[in-house]
Chains A and B, each alone.
Chain A
Amino acid sequence: MKKILYTLLIFSFISVGFAQQTPAKKQTEAITIEGATAHLGNGKIIENSLIMFENGKLTFVGSANMRIARKGTVINAKDKHIYPGFIAPAKSLGLVEVNAVRASDDQDEIGEMIPHIRSIIAYNAESKVVESMRPNGVLLAQVTPKGGRISGTSSIVQFDAWNWEDAIVKEDDGIHMHWPNYFRQGRRRAGEEPGYRPNEKYSEELDKISVFFENALAYSKATAKELNPAFKAMNGVFEGSQKFYIYANGEKEIIDAITIAKEGGAKKIVLVGGYQAYKITNFLKENDIPVLINFTHTLPEFEDDDYNLPYKNPKLLVDAGLIVGLQNASVSNFQTRNLPFYAGQIVGQGLDKEVALQLITGNNAKILGIDSDYGTLEVGKSATLFISKGDALDMRTNLLSKAYIDGRDISLETHQTKLWKRYMNKYEGTK
């Protein structure tokens, strides 16, 4: 109670409004953070660290024992922790505001094979949901269209921008495809039992995919007289300039998906989902496929599965030597602020804490192709990081005091923190 009173005193002078947070100004002055435990996002850790950044780039990452001049504003972060900004792949953040309000939903265009649909132009940089990611350390995301067979093209954004253009980290980074299911649910309307049964159209659906690949590839070989936007949009996948994200969960579906996409000419394939990927890690390794594994806070798919299979699934892939990132593509966007806790859950299953962190930082950056700038705390990379009071993978101690995107000192306030303060003020004022 005392703590709260204290907090209130601090906050009572801050005016409360309802507008979104104003994007921070460009970094003009160097910033030095000293004394924290730095979690680099590449599996390494520096106790009593010294981190410096200028003009949005990290200029020093090392030990505070180094006798080196501290530049600019010095922040004493003793007993605190520094992390690279967390990266959320395969989300429709900024494309939908309130799930149940159709007018606020821009995540799923009609059509089955629509790689030419681009998410970035619909991205709402002022979304209240996006804003709510930041106080938990989630600072970047792959904004991804949903639905259909090929849903469209994603782009990677950072979460502190005036508009979508400013938000871009990597435009049109990849194309997303949802693999058909080998089993399908019974259709009640057709008088079927609601359970799952073999999908009798599975091979037909696979054939459609192959035909699409063949045509798109043929189209890319010649200069077309008449534009086919869908075929054209696949060019980057064939060239390898865009990644091809395939969503598949069953063992068979994964094997089919990787095989057909490779045969079809996709150069850089990423598996998204991978519920049963642990059964075929050798296959994935041989084919050099990184996996964006399902987040941990889900239920087992099959009744007889281990109760903790979703919890330990990422660890099984890491242990097998695959490159593994973590995504929560299948749930509502607001949940993405729990990304660090999905990673923390794996630690409870015996995965090293720093490796778990890697799944939402260094590895996600690598898989999304933004690792030259983001994902780890290394000199020369973007100063996209935050300071937490404690262990950021555990909900009790994930408490941010500062966060920076490209060196810009961003606000950690949100619509939600404002309401919190507004009402605490009200109650304290009436007592």
Chain B
Amino acid sequence: MKTRILVLTLFWCSSFLFAQDYFPQNDGVKSKNNNYTAFTNAKIYVTPTQIIENGTLLIQNGKVIQVGKSVTLPKNTVKIDATGKSIYPSFIDIYSDFGVEKPKRATSRGRSSEYKPTREGFYWNDHIMPETNAISDYKFDTKKAKELREAGFGIVNTHLQDGIARGTGVLVALNSEGTDANRVLDDKSAQYFSFDRSVTKNQSYPTSLMGTTALLRQMYSDMNWYAKGNIDTKDRSLEALIANKNLTQIIEAKDKAKDILADKIGDAYGIQYTILAGGDEYENIAEIKATNAKYIIPLNFPKAYDVSNPYQAGYVSLEDMRHWNLAPSNPKVLTDNGVQYAITLYDSKSTKTFKENLLKAISYGLPKTKALEALTTVPAQILGKSTEIGSLQSGSYANFLIASGDIFDKKTTLYENWVQGQKSVINDINLKDIRGDYNLTVDNTTYELNITGDLSKPKATVKLDTTKLTSKIKYSNDWLDLSFSTKNDDLYRMTGLVSKTSDNLEGRLILPTGKETFFKAIKTTSFSEKEKDKKENKSIKLMPIHYPNIGYGYTTKPTQETILFKNATVWTGEDAGVLKNTDVLIKNGKITKIGTNLNAGNAKLVDATGKHVTAGIIDEHSHIALLSVNESGQNSSAEVTMEDAVNSEDMNIYRNLAGGVTTSQLLHGSANPIGGRSAIIKLKWGESADKMIYNNSPKFIKFALGENVKQSNWGSYSRFPQTRMGVEQVYMNYFQRGKEYDALKKSGKPYRYDEEMEVIAEILNGERFISCHSYVQSEINMLMKVADKFDFKINTFTHILEGYKVADKMAKHGVGGSTFSDWWAYKYEVNDAIPYNAAIMHSQGVTVAINSDDREMSRRLNQEAGKIVKYGDVSEEEAWKMVTINPAKLLHLDDRTGSIKIGKDADVVLWSGHPLSVYARAEKTIIDGAVYFDIEKDQQQRNLIQEERNMLINMMLKEKESGKPTQKPTKKHNEEFHCDTL
């Protein structure tokens, strides 16, 4: 059972102060107020779906006593006639930082990173702070509370928004008249997590999304291990995690990819997070729905870009324009797909923009009932507080709004927001509408008076005949002050109490002479609001969703086809060599026939006369399609996996397809001797990350040697190792520890699950393969010797620029080499890098691949293979294998892809000419039998992109013309990742 402050019976004192029963009172005598208050004849939303017309709401002591059509009112009831008014439960903001001071950014200490934690008796990583309790930092913010009440909120759920594990939050009623003894409804309302490091801490790890993800996983493992009493030392962080594990668990994900990642982490530990979403969930709704998580949705719809300057407009991508167009439909899409969500103020610039965006979402199809649920019952339910907040069922807190009508109508006036039975007036409910046209008689002259504008802040114009006079009006507390001056600067001042019964205005008049007399204004016409926003309700045009939802995305995902290539030159990559005038049939995602005069059947026929058909290119070393590349916070990061950081919406995927690439190994960078695990993907443009990653993927990990792991080129001097000598010792140490770990694990004795050691043990057991970034011969040789000592093989040396110097040793060890064709001179350690490297290694029997490590080069790896023909005289067939079957072998995928062979995956490219030639273009790139790039379709896409851009630009121009706020054009920074990108 959750700990919670005992909320004592509330006393509604005549002084409007709360006091606790057992507290002594010395400023008077104790006096209780147990009167009831009833609101009668109102339209009452008990819940968003239970609505009572002409109902009565009866409250006492800050709680709802009864609500219904006919409620018997006790005698000591104060009755408030709410005829024509609507009563709603007050809103709940489930994701707030109300009353909690914004964390202050730590000053960075010098150039070198900090690797140690700063705390003692807590978790080893400073960014894990589950022991934080927002209540100890919380202070009721009266000013903010007022602002929130005016926006309709009665309850906020607040926490300290800092760190990866953030501790618990506080549920607070926005009752400025109360004390924390009654308005703090729960001081451990939920437990919070995020993917963001603490800004208050400098500890280096984690520096990446993969690192954060791995850290969360390890934290949960350690929690379980600690809970079983296996750790001798005190860890207050883990103790807090254990204590709070039954609370609602909320994680801040903030975009659709991280939503899914968060859910995956939770699944692994039996936790169903409630996820703070990003607002782009509509782009991948099927997978969002499949998480079965509840979401918290911010209403952070982007403003239109100011595209009035065409040069600036050019910088805005179609992706960003589409998001502007579609973001307001996010709540509707979630609703349509049955996703449960709460709506939060989080990420809204102000309560005003929040309200505007809420109404916008409704105009984009969000049903009002769902909007109300998302602000009341759903957040209450997420927090397990349905009986107390979020509705007006008897027993609930008396938190409710009184409005002139439909709360989600622009014209509705919100009169009062009652929180815990405490009234806050937002607009005077009894304020009489004095707007209209009058005949104002002053000093025997009749003027024309028009009162318009807001009900509570009206504007007046006074005319004599047709001449407009300077005038002032003030209307508050039922009193009207009006003054005007004539052309002769004669000032007439009036004040009067507005009558409840008469529509006419009358009262005291002070003449310019100072003489006091009376005025009277006879109402001639009532005020009627003009239909201002008729125009806005014009049908909203929404762009179709594309997969991915950026330029060159497809409206439907490519599907498997049966295709027959006729009369092609076929580069089999097998013993069959290069076959002329040959047909290739692909069906059900596989290569099914290779031969001459094959029967097309119902296959799509592709005349490949004069063209070449090859297997798709495989890039052994790529960093495209990633959200992050290096976890540099530690010298080993075996626990991280690039599968957690795959970005399925990187335009470079499409561009690589246009260069004939079908498979890429997304490697961790080279910031540390032991890097992270790989993601091996097929470039299935339009699919989600999970579907791109190979099924039953071979397991790989990146290691690295050389200048990067020594941090030679970026002035960092504090991390071990700083020399190649140290690098060897890192490996020796880790493998020895991995061995000991594995032995303990296999012994059946209890052991602390350590994801990093699990991975090291996989390597030792031959279940995971190393692809090692390497430059000079000494270190290459060293790593092979280390492996020999631990009785396993290095699988691949990648880059391997001095591989040619130890090619014989490599062949003997059985390691492959995956290298650049001709890069050198960029670092000291590539002084002896030569373009003949591939040829020499090949000549000594090493399996050689040519890789890119570069998103530009990767889209023309065929040409890089062509260079191997030039440098070292390798035959064309062998050179071609270096970008297809050889990398497939190195990746242990050669039974599935990498050559044109019956039964293999139909990962096939149609080239306009000789595939090794600089003149060749990829015309079709096919993966598992589906066409992911087609040069003709590409042309059509270009036109569609121009059309859609134009359409959206015009829509944004109109938005600007109509006076709506805009933002400056921006262009996303698409960071280029290499091995050494930090």
A interface residues (Cβ-Cβ under 8 A, vs B): 1, 3-4, 7, 97-101, 128-129, 182-183, 185-186, 193-198, 250-252, 297-300, 302-304, 306-308, 332-334, 337-338, 341, 344-345, 347-348, 393-399, 416-417, 419-420, 423-424, 427, 430
Contact = CB atoms under 8 A, between A and B. Distances in A.
A334 B968 contact: no
A339 to B, nearest CB: 12
A8 to B, nearest CB: 10
Nearest to B938: A307
Interface stretch (B62-70, B437-445, B870-878, B902-910): B870-878
A219 to B, nearest CB: 34
B974 A307 contact: no
Contact of B551 (A99, A128, A304, A416): A304
Interface in B283-313: 311-312
Contacts of B938: 307
B827 interface: yes
Interface residues of B, number: 72
Contact of A194 (B315, B808, B860, B973): B973
A333 B945 CA distance: 36
B186 interface: no
12 contacts: A182-B312, A197-B971, A252-B311, A297-B857, A299-B655, A302-B315, A303-B550, A307-B655, A307-B658, A307-B859, A416-B836, A427-B844
A395 B873 contact: no
A39 to B, nearest CB: 15
Given A303-B317, A304-B318, A394-B918, A420 B855 contact: no
A395 B870 contact: yes
B804 A196 contact: no
A423 B810 CA distance: 14
Given A100-B707, A420-B872, A427-B807, A250 B311 contact: yes
B706 to A, nearest CB: 11
Given A186-B973, A299-B855, A420-B834, A396 B826 contact: no
Among A97, A250, A306, max chain B CB count under 10 A is at A306
Nearest to B921: A348
Contact of A307 (B654, B823, B863, B949): B654
A4 B552 CA distance: 45
Contacts of B654: 307
B376 to A, nearest CB: 34
A98 B827 contact: yes
Interface of B: 311-312, 314-315, 317-319, 550-552, 651-652, 654-655, 658, 707, 712-713, 804-805, 807-808, 822-828, 830-832, 834-836, 839-840, 843-844, 855-857, 859-860, 863, 866-867, 869-870, 872-873, 876, 912, 914, 916-921, 938, 942, 945, 949, 968-975
A302 B920 contact: no
A254 to B, nearest CB: 11
Given A299-B655, A338-B822, A304 B870 contact: no
Nearest to A102: B713
A396 B312 contact: no
Contacts of A101: 827-828
A101 B827 CA distance: 7
B972 A195 contact: yes
Contacts of A417: 836
Given A251-B314, A348-B921, 8 more contacts: A4-B873, A100-B826, A302-B317, A303-B550, A307-B938, A395-B916, A416-B824, A423-B804
A171 B942 CA distance: 46
Given A1-B843, A197-B968, A337 B860 contact: no
Given A297-B856, A419-B832, A182 B973 contact: no
Contact of B825 (A129, A183, A308, A395): A129
A250 B310 CA distance: 12
B808 A427 contact: yes
Contacts of A100: 707, 712-713, 826-828
A20 to B, nearest CB: 14
B920 A348 contact: yes
> 5 tightest CB-CB pairs across the interface, nearest first?
A344-B918, A420-B836, A196-B971, A304-B551, A334-B825
A366 to B, nearest CB: 24
B971 A183 contact: yes
A423 B840 contact: yes
A9 to B, nearest CB: 13
Contacts of B859: 307
Contacts of A419: 804, 832, 834, 836
Nearest to A334: B825
A333 to B, nearest CB: 7
Given A194-B973, A395-B866, A423-B805, A416 B835 contact: yes
B870 A398 contact: yes
B843 A4 contact: yes
